[in-house]
Chain A
Amino acid sequence: MSDFKVHQRDGEDVSVIELKGYLDAHTAPDLENAFQKLLTEKKYNIVVNCRDLSYISSAGLGVFMAYVEDVRNNKGDIKLSNMSPKVYNVFDLLGFPILYEIYKDEKEAVVKFHGAQTK
């Protein structure tokens, strides 16, 4: 059940986190650790790629809430991408699209960061 993996890929100035499997109360600490690591590495431009994320629970959503403030205070952002319709529905129900930028594709999200920097 608790098959969950976090993989971090660092681009030039954007870090991509790939999520895979079920993100629930049991696996949420894995994602917390990943965010914590990015914060200590001072990487605040974060894209979370949800292509292989098959399920997210309220505890999983809570992880994003826990870190987004710190990231934004450091002029960074957490952007989300590649969500399956089912996962998007969970984000949507809670109103996350109002709080987060959600993109169809990871590249789009990365490009958005570049745009923000060049401005």
Chain B
Amino acid sequence: MTRLTRILLIGTPVILLPLIYIHDVIRVMVELDISVVNFLRELFIFAAYISLGFFIDNRRRHLKQGLPKEIGRLLIAVVLLELFLAGCSRFLPENFNGAGLKHAAFGTLVLTIAVIASSVIATVELFIVRDLLFFKKNKTAKRNYRLYLAMLSAACVITLPMFSLGDTWASKILFALAVIMIIAISFRQSWIVYLSKREKIYTIIYSGFLFLALIGMEVFFSQSATVGEFLSQYSEPLHTFIKLNNTLGIVYFGITGITTLFHLPTTDVFERKQSELHSLHNLSRLATQVFDFQELVNTVAQMTTEVCDARSVWLELLTTDEITGVMSIDVAVRKNITQTEIDALTNENEHVRSLLLDTHKTLLIDDIWSDRRTKHLKAKGVLRSSLMMAPLVSHQKLIGVLYATKEVENAFDQDDIDVMTTFADNVSIAIENSRLIARSLERERLHQEMMVAQRMQKRLLPQSLPVLPQVQLAASSESSFEVGGDYYDIFPLADNNYGIIIGDVSGKGVSAAFYMAEVKGIFLSLSQLCSTPRELLLRANRSLLESLEKNAFISVIYSVLDVSNATLTLARAGHCPAVFLSEEHSELIRSTGLGLGLATDEIFSNATEERCLPLKPNDVCLLYTDGIVEARNSEGEEFGYERLLQAAQQCKHLPAEEIKEAVLSSVRTFLGVNPYNDDVTLVVVKWLGT
């Protein structure tokens, strides 16, 4: 409703009512009976009160809550009005004929105010009844209310003086019809059911008194000459309006009082049902709290108390460790009960939980002291109480138990069991979801960590290779997991020598990555101390033997490229043999050797030999890890040494970088759609000549 409409609605009576008042005062003084004026007066009254009605309705809509309170307010207004009316009839004369202007003006003013107040109250009564009728709206209520409004309007209009039907059968019949509608609508009292016990008591008191007060008012109107007479002279339709609405109030609130009284004994049951329903509706709240486990279990405790009106509640969660398989039991939340009390109840050896293991059904123990399953707890000082246990089941597995107790025996009934079961089902889902979310967050965190590890590991590999006129170098390494165990490095040594190393740590993933970092450290420091590859491998084996786990080992080839003398000296420690390609032939350099970390000094030393290869221009040496030869296609076939030799043979005339690409691409072509199942590393050394 706009501001303008509101101003118009209140403006109309504010202007018209004083006009009517002035007219009325004049009429007391001077005999006036001009039909046009009379007609206008009725019209003004109609307009003024209709606007006032709409205005009140508009203002009232904002305070619709607390039905009993509104009835109470109406009661107060009615009582005040009655006091006012009583004052009027006590102190004002029956009429003002010949009383003088001053008295007439005052008397008429007071009575006009009384009329306005009565009609306002009558209007409010109508609206309150309407609101009550429309509580949980249904079609019949709406229709009956409209019918009543129609009867009410008709009964009022017919009493207009110009129809001269004021006291005929017609008006009486319309009045009677309106009363019938009143009775019809007064039996719709469904709102009472939803009141709390306290509200019901208030409703009984308020509506009882209101009933009496309204009867009193009616009696007053018909008995008191001053007020009654003035009202019917003021406006007969308004009189009828007030009379009918008061009747409505009397009948409706009379029935309200009686109905509420009858509803009182069943309130507790209804309230409980209501709160069960409310709690079950609230189950959806659980779903939104899966991000905060503690908050979730707190809500569960709170809601369990609500659904079955329990004294104490606790939630026990059974968690099976994924790795060790050990089951741990924790009390996730408890309410109104101490841990000691819980411990006494859930005694280890004959734990009440075991009663749930077979059936996975909600269990009720009516009396802990006398139930044969829990009798033994009496001796432990457990207080007498009823105990309800609802299993939380997920994937046919017991993941927890929800307990509720009441301090008297036989306190839970079938309804409680049903509600608790439904509730427990939802709790299981919420807890399971919460765990899943926590797990996936944890996984995400680990993934992030692994990505960091990957970046770190990439930095352990050479960021750039030495550029030399006599030799071309190319290398690449790719992990099949985030981090891997492959390692290569090319670094300058003294006397224009270069160390070239390739290695593969047994196993995969994080452990392999750690060893790889260790290997890098060992090799970098040893490479400056040892003069030959064999010596370096010996010393590396010695230090790794201590630090590696029993089942871990490292295969490497360490080679020293002597640029001045054009030789490549290499020693193999269990690694895939290097591919050596010269103009005339190709060869796998399979010198004997043991993986690092497999055997003690003596055995290792005896097993490891060194090979020195003189280099001619365009000789190519390929160092690689088993990821290449063991790359398997979808038929389960391995790439193998033959294919590797062939592939290398075909591209040996190319520059080192292109040889590397060509060999890797032939492996990829061989794999087809299959992914690499291992880390793949390839180092190409191409000798150009001095």
**A59 CA / B603 CA spacing, docked (Å):** 22
Q: Is the CB of A99 within 8 A of B506?
A: no
Q: Is the CB of A62 within 8 A of B594?
A: no
| In the complex, A6 has a CB within 8 A of chain B | no
Q: Is the CB of A94 within 8 A of B594?
A: yes
Q: Which residues of B contact A98 (CB under 8 A)?
A: 594, 599, 603, 606-607
B424-441, CB under 8 A of A: which get 1 and which 0? 000000000000000000
A17-50, CB under 8 A of B: which get 1 and which 0? 0000000010000000000000000000000000
Given contacts A58-B506, A95-B592, 7 further A-B contacts (CB under 8 A): A58-B626, A59-B507, A61-B506, A93-B575, A95-B607, A98-B599, A98-B603
The interface stretch among B107-115, B148-156, B548-556 is: B548-556
**A58 CA / B638 CA spacing, docked (Å):** 16
Please, how many residues of chain B have a CB less than 8 angstroms from a CB on the other chain? 28
Q: Is the CB of B577 within 8 A of A65?
A: no
Q: Which residues of B contact A14 (CB under 8 A)?
A: none
Q: What are 29 of the A-B contact pairs (CB < 8 Å)? A: A25-B507, A55-B630, A57-B630, A58-B507, A59-B551, A61-B506, A61-B553, A62-B506, A62-B552, A62-B553, A65-B550, A65-B552, A66-B549, A66-B551, A93-B574, A93-B575, A93-B576, A94-B574, A94-B595, A94-B598, A95-B574, A95-B593, A95-B594, A95-B598, A95-B607, A98-B607, A99-B598, A99-B599, A99-B603
Q: Which residues of B contact A94 (CB under 8 A)?
A: 553, 555, 574, 594-595, 598
Please, how many residues of chain A have a CB less than 8 angstroms from a CB on the other chain? 17
Chain A at the B interface: SS class: helix
**A69 CA / B504 CA spacing, docked (Å):** 23
| In the complex, B508 has a CB within 8 A of chain A | yes
| In the complex, A63 has a CB within 8 A of chain B | yes
* Residues of chain B in range 591-628 having any CB-CB distance to chain A below 8 Å: 592-595, 598-599, 603, 606-607, 626
* Residues of chain A in range 56-84 having any CB-CB distance to chain B below 8 Å: 57-59, 61-63, 65-66, 69
Q: Which residues of A contact B598 (CB under 8 A)?
A: 65, 94-95, 99
* Residues of chain B in range 557-606 having any CB-CB distance to chain A below 8 Å: 573-577, 592-595, 598-599, 603, 606
- Report the minimum CB–CB distance from A10 to chain B (whole Å): 25
- Report the minimum CB–CB distance from A107 to chain B (whole Å): 28
- Report the minimum CB–CB distance from B672 to chain A (whole Å): 16
- Report the minimum CB–CB distance from B324 to chain A (whole Å): 15
**A59 CA / B512 CA spacing, docked (Å):** 10
Q: Which residue of B lies closest to A54 (CB)?
A: B636
Q: Is the CB of B504 within 8 A of A58?
A: yes
Q: Is the CB of A66 within 8 A of B550?
A: yes
Given B551, B592, B603, which contacts A65 in the complex, CB threshold below 8 Å?
A: B551
Q: Is the CB of A58 within 8 A of B555?
A: yes
* Residues of chain A in range 71-111 having any CB-CB distance to chain B below 8 Å: 86, 93-95, 98-99
**A63 CA / B508 CA spacing, docked (Å):** 14
Q: Is the CB of B551 within 8 A of A62?
A: yes
Q: Is the CB of B553 within 8 A of A58?
A: yes
Q: Which 7 A-B pairs have the closest CB atoms?
A: A95-B594, A62-B551, A66-B551, A58-B506, A94-B574, A66-B550, A94-B595
